[in-house]
Amino acid sequence: MPLVVLDTNVLVAAVRSRRGASFQVLSRVGTRDVEIVVSVPLVLEYEDALLRQIGSSNLTPADVQDLVDYLCGVARQQDIFYLWRPLLRDPNDDMVAEVAVAAGCEAIVTHNRRDFAGVERFNLSIWSPAEFLKQIGVRK
């Protein structure tokens, strides 16, 4: 099972639609198929982004809190001792990359591959949710 960091856009896509690959990835978090890593700043970003989705999803603030609590409970928590910034164009993407580098992840799972151009130098792959599902043998 590859160790990965989920970009915030994967969580947002998962709560907006139960039909896509993002929802399938999120549904497998906490199983032996998917091991994710988070940091405190990344969890705060997850929470903020998910709370902004309340109007366009069926989530309530309590649902968001439950989801974030669940992710914190099943994820590997990673402290960040060294900031690699600036690495990417967006500071929020830098935060995702920092967690992945510090934890020795295999990949970042995202819908925005271009946002992470350059992380290959840290031996990180960039996978879409569908590509990740293929990696773990869920899709062909």
Q: Is 5 helix (H, G, I), strand (E, B) or coil?
A: strand
Residue range 37-49, pLDDT digits in tens: 999 999 999 999 9
E strand or H helix at 130, and its extent? Answer: helix 129-135
Residue range 19-30, pLDDT digits in tens: 999 999 999 999
Segment 60-80 shows an average pLDDT of 95
Residue type at 109? Answer: V
Give Cα separations from 135 to 18, 55, 83 (angstroms).
20, 33, 29
pLDDT at 82: 65
Ramachandran region, residue 56 (left: φ > 0; alpha: ψ -120 to 50; beta: rest): alpha
Instruction: Enumerate the domain spans of the chain.
Output: 3-135
Tokens matching residue 84: 């690699």
Looking at domain 3-135, its CATH class is alpha beta
Residue range 84-135, pLDDT digits in tens: 666 777 677 888 999 999 999 999 999 999 999 888 888 999 999 999 999 9
